[in-house]
Structure 1
Amino acid sequence: MRYFCAAVLAALFFVLGPVSGALAQDITLRSRDGGVELTGTLLGFDGEFYRLRTQYGELTVDGSGVFCEGVGCPSLTDYVADLSISGSATIGTVLMPALIESFALRTGLSAVREDLDPALFQYKLTDTKSGKLVGRFAFRVSNTDEGFADLLGDDADIVMALREIRRSEVALAREAGLGDLLHPNRSRVLALDAMVPIVAPINPVDAISPTDLSRILSGNLVNWRELGGPDAPVTVHLRDAGSGLSQGVEDRLLTPARSELRAEVIRHSTNAELATAIARDPFGIGLASFSEIGNAKPLGLTGPCGFQLRAARRSIKTEDFPLTAPMFLYLPARRLPALAREFLTFTRSPPAQIVIRRAGFVDQAPEEVPVDLQGNRFTNAILVAEGEGGLDELRRMTRTLSEMRRLTTSFRFEAGSSRLDAQSRSNVQQLARSLESGAYDGRKLVFVGFSDGQGPAQSNMAIARKRAETVRRAVLEAAETADTNQVEILTEAFGEAMPMACDNSAWGRQVNRRVEVWLK
C-alpha cells in the first residue's frame, strides 16, 4: 500500500500525452498487494506511466507498481507509441518527414508513410529485426494558429510553429493544464528560417530599409517611385493570415511601428505559391521563407548609413540578418512516450543538422568563421571609428580578434528587455551541451559584447560588458556537467566598435546589441 501511494505521489511530477477516444475509458489501477485501488478515466499511457482523471483530480501513476483492470487498459507487451504533431506546413511538409526518416534509419526502424488526406499523414515505425510496430507519428499540417488550437483542444502533443507563442495562448494553455509554455523546457528551436523581402527579377529595386518595408505593409508607401523604382503602385503579397510566417511579419515589422496591415493584400496558401506570384508580378513585393524564394529576387535590408544585410545561411545562423525566424516545436508539460523523446533528442544531434540543411533550412550546428571570411564587418568598424579614442578601440579590437575565429552561435536580447530572445535561449542550451561534451577542451572561449552607438561610448562599453557576463553566466549554469577547468572562458567588450546596421532606426540598434562567441 505504501509503495502504491508513493508511486502516485512521485508520479504527480509527470504528465502524459493525449490519447485517442478509444482509450478515454474508465479503468481501475490496483496496487500489487491489492490494498489500494484507483478508478478513473484513462487520459494517456506512454508505456511506463498512466494518466487518469479521478475524483481527486488528474493523477499520473507509475505502471510498474500497479495492475490495470478494464477494457480500456493498454497492452504492456504490444505497446505502440502514439505521437500527434500539428501546425506549420512549412515545417511539417518537408523538414519533419526528413528528420523522422533519418531517425528511423539510424535506430534500426523502418518508417512507412501513409497519406490520409492532403493535410493528414502518419508514419508507422517498425522494428526491422522483429517486424513489430513500435510507433505511430501522426501529422496535421496547416498553420501555426491551427497547431496551437489543436494543442489546446487536446488533439496534439507537439505544435510546429513559425512564430513565438502569444500571451493569450500562454494563458489558455495554463488554464488547460498544459503548463507554462514560456518555460525553456516547453519549446525548442528545431531549425532557422528568415522572412526575406522579395520582388520580381525585373524590378530595379535591390534593397529596402525595414522602415520602408513597414510603410509598404501599412499602406503609407504605395508607389515604387519612392524607392527608386518605376512609377507604379506597390502590390503586397503575403502568406495566409493563419500562417506563422505572415503573423511573424506583423509582429516584427508592424507592431513595433504601431501600424496595422493595409487592407489590400494578396494572400497565398503556400510558400511556393507566394514566390511564384511575386516572380510574375513586376510591381509586387512579398515576405517569403528563406527556404523557398523560387525565381523571385531577394532584397537586401539597408539604411541611411549605407550598411546592408542580406539573408544567407551564415547571416541567419548568427542572427545578423534581423528578420531571422526560428522554427519552433512547442511541447506541453506532458510526459511523451520514450520513442518520441528519443526522436526529439535526435533533432538536436549533428546528423539531424545535416538533414536540416539538405531540406533547405538553416541548421544550428556551430561553425567557426575566420576573420577574412566575415564580409564587411571590419570595414563597417573602420567607417564608424571617430577620433583618437575610436581609433584606439578599433586597434584594440583588431589585435584581440584577428587571431581568433567567430563562432556562429550568437546571442541577442528581446527589444527593451534583458531577456535573451528565442533563438539565443536555444543557443544557450546548444553551447552548454558542447561544453559538456568537451568540444572546446584545451581552447579559449570568449564572450564578446557589443552595443549600439546611442549615448556615451563609456556607458555603451559598460552595457556591452554586462551583456557578455550575463550570457556567460547563463551558459555556465546550463552546462551543469561541463569540466570548466578544461576550457578557458572569458568575457570581453568592444561597445559600439563594430556595428552591423545603421543606428538611426530601432531595428538597426537591435541588431547591433549582441554578444558574440570567439574561439582560439
Structure 2
Amino acid sequence: MKAKTILSFLALTVATTGMQAQRIKGSDTVLPIAQQTAERFMALNPTARVTVTGGGTGVGISALLDETTDIAMASRTIKFSEKMKAKAAGEDLEEVPIAYDALAVVVHPSNPVKQLTRQQLESIFRGKITNWKQVGGDDRKIVVYSRETSSGTYEFFKESVLKNKNYMSSSLSMPATGAIIQSVSQTRGAIGYVGLAYVSPRIRTLAISYDGKHFANPTLENAVNKTYPIVRPLFYYYNKKDSVSVAPLIDFILSPAGQEIIKKSGYIPMK
C-alpha cells in the first residue's frame, strides 16, 4: 500500500472518535469478512459502532437506495436497473472491490462423482441432465439447490456457469448459503454452490473444468493461480455523499491488516 494511502488511513482512523454508527448489509458471501473486519475495526476504534447483516446482494443494494444501510455488500456488480433507480433518486453510488471469492460446487459426501465440466453443470442446473448416472455416478435423481434470485451468488453462477441461460424451474431456492450446506449435506442426490469460505466436511466439493480437459478443485491456491475457473470479485457499495463517514471502515478493509483477515478467512485478497 502506498505511503500516502497509509497516512490517509491513519488520519481517518483518528477521525472515528466522533464517528456515527455504520450499517453494512447485503451479500451472505461477503458477510463473514465484513463481520470479522468490522470487529477488528471496532477493537482498534472503541468509539466506532458497526452493525453487519446479510440477506443477499439485492437486499443490500435496495437498502442502500432506501438509505437504511450505509454500505451494501455485493457478490456481483450493480445491475443497470439498480443504477437507474439510484439515478432517479439523485444518488451517486461508489463501487469498491474488497476481495475475490471462488464459488465451489458441492454435493453430498457419499456422491462418487469427483468432477464435472461447465457444460455438464449447465445441463444439470437447467434440467437437461437429471440423473447422476448420466455423469458417471449412481442411478440417483439429481436434486438441484440454488440461491434465491436476489442473491448475487445466484446471478454470478447464472452468468458464469449457465452463460445467462435460465435455471430449471424445479430447482430449490435457498434463502442463504447455510441453508444450501444443510440441504446438500442431508440429501444424497443433491448439488449446490457456495462461497469457498463456507466449505465444510458436511459436504464435498467437485473439481471443475471450463475447457473439458483441465480440472481444478476449489482451493484458495487454485483460485489465486487462476486454474480454478469460478472466481468473482466482491464489493462494497456506498453513496458518495457518505464518503467521509464510511472512509475509515473501507480504508481498513483495504489495508494490509484488513486484507490479512480476508486471506485467513479463506477469501482472496486484492493484492
Global fold match (TM > 0.5) = yes
Contact 2:209 2:229 in 1 (8 A): no
Verify: 1:81 aligned to 2:2, yes or no: no
Matching residue's letter, 1:364: M
* Cα distance in structure 2, aligned partners of 1:349 and 1:216: 41
Alignment-derived partner of residue 216 in structure 1: 124
Matching residue's letter, 1:102: R
How big is the shift at 1:241? 2.8
Aligned counterpart for 1:97 among listed residues 35, 40, 48: 35
Q: In the TM superposition, what whole-angstrom CA distance separates every residue of 1:276-321 from its partner, at most 9, and x where no partner exists? A: 3212222111112111122211111126753112211122234442
Alignment-derived partner of residue 256 in structure 2: 350
The aligned runs of 1:376-391 (5 Å cut-off) are none
What secondary structure is seen at the aligned counterpart in 2 of 1:347?
helix
* Cα distance in structure 2, aligned partners of 1:355 and 1:177: 35
Contact 2:117 2:212 in 1 (8 A): no
Residue 301 and residue 226 in structure 1: after superposition, are their counterparts in 2 closer, same or farther (change >3 A)? same
Aligned counterpart for 2:149 among listed residues 241, 247, 261: 241
In structure 2, list runs of 5 or more residues that go unmatched: 1-16
How big is the shift at 1:192? 1.9
The aligned runs of 1:71-470 (5 Å cut-off) are 79-92=18-31, 94-106=32-44, 109-110=45-46, 126=47, 135-179=48-92, 181=93, 186-254=94-162, 256=163, 259-294=165-200, 295-302=202-209, 306-338=213-245, 340-365=246-271
Q: Which structure carries more helix by proportion?
A: 2
Task: Please give the root-mean-square deviation of Cα atoms over the aligned residues, in Å.
Answer: 2.1
Residue 226 and residue 259 in structure 1: after superposition, are their counterparts in 2 closer, same or farther (change >3 A)? same
Contact 1:192 1:317 in 2 (8 A): no
* Structure of higher CA gyration radius: 1
Matching residue's letter, 1:178: E
Contact 1:317 1:364 in 2 (8 A): no
* Cα distance in structure 2, aligned partners of 1:278 and 1:324: 21
In structure 1, list runs of 5 or more residues that go unmatched: 1-77, 111-125, 127-134, 366-520
What secondary structure is seen at the aligned counterpart in 1 of 2:30?
helix
Matching residue's letter, 1:260: N
Residue 289 and residue 147 in structure 1: after superposition, are their counterparts in 2 closer, same or farther (change >3 A)? same
Residue 358 and residue 303 in structure 1: after superposition, are their counterparts in 2 closer, same or farther (change >3 A)? closer
* Cα distance in structure 2, aligned partners of 1:79 and 1:191: 28
Alignment-derived partner of residue 481 in structure 1: none
Q: In the TM superposition, what whole-angstrom CA distance separates every residue of 1:199-219 from its partner, at most 9, and x where no partner exists? A: 112111110011110111111
Identify which of structures 1 and 2 has the higher relative contact order when contacts are C-alpha pairs closer than 8 Å and 6+ apart: 2
Percent identity of the aligned residues? 23
TM-score, structure 2 length as denominator?
A: 0.85
Alignment-derived partner of residue 12 in structure 2: none
Contact 2:42 2:50 in 1 (8 A): no
Residue 320 and residue 189 in structure 1: after superposition, are their counterparts in 2 closer, same or farther (change >3 A)? farther
Matching residue's letter, 2:105: P
Q: In the TM superposition, what whole-angstrom CA distance separates every residue of 1:137-173 from its partner, at most 9, and x where no partner exists? A: 3434211111111122222221101111111111211
TM superposition outliers: structure 1 runs of 4+ over 4 Å: none
* Cα distance in structure 1, aligned partners of 2:52 and 2:150: 18
Number of equivalent positions = 254
Q: Which structure carries more strand by proportion?
A: 1
* Cα distance in structure 1, aligned partners of 2:60 and 2:211: 40
